Amino acid sequence: MKQVGQQVAPVLAVHGRFDAHQVPQVQQDMDALLESGATTIIVDLSDVTFVDSSALAVIVRGMKRCRERSGELILCGMRQPVRIIFELTRMDRSFRIFDNPAAAQQALATDAR
């Protein structure tokens, strides 16, 4: 997890291939953030080159858990191949997606006003 300046929500950065091999760690990190009191999580996919169905499932699970806490799961930094998968599955309609973590933080800060 990386820190991005003045944070409104924690940022969970994922790297490389986001697939069944990475899902357990991402799930554990997401669970830890939620257990520590976070309601909204920003998932930074800037360094992700590929996502599979298990990655999509953990993202949906995270979205549901955030919504149960009156928060949201926000995605950012999608490369074109990753964005295409979200568009093909129509998952892009279920999330707010930003260019980078700073833009997501700025939007959340504006929402809070």
Q: Is residue 111 part of a domain?
A: no
Residue 7: pLDDT band by 50, 70, 90 thresholds?
Answer: confident
Domain count within the chain: 1
Judged on CB neighbours under 10 Å (0-12, 13-18, 19+), 71 is middle
109 within domain boundaries:
no
Q: Is residue 5 part of a domain?
A: no
Percent of the chain with pLDDT over 90: 88
1 has a pLDDT exceeding 70? no
**Is the pLDDT score of 50 beyond 60?**
yes
46 in a domain, yes or no? yes
pLDDT at 21 over 80: yes
Instruction: Kindly state the average pLDDT of the residues 64-83.
Output: 97
Whether residue 66 lies inside any domain: the answer is yes
- Rounded to whole angstroms, the Cα distance separating 81 from 55 reads 14
CATH of the domain at 81: 3.30.750.24
Q: Is residue 74 part of a domain?
A: yes
Parent domain of 89: 11-94
pLDDT of residue 6: 53
The sheet with strand 11-18 has its strands ordered as 11-18, 41-51, 73-76, 97-98
Residue 69 lies in a domain: yes
SS3 string of the chain?
A: CCCCCCCCCCEEEEEEEECCCCHHHHHHHHHHHHHCCCCCEEEEEEEEEEECHHHHHHHHHHHHHHHHCCCCEEEECCCHHHHHHHHHCCHHHCCCEECCHHHHHHHHHHHHC
Does residue 106 form part of some domain? no
Cα 100 from Cα 21, distance rounded (Å):
24
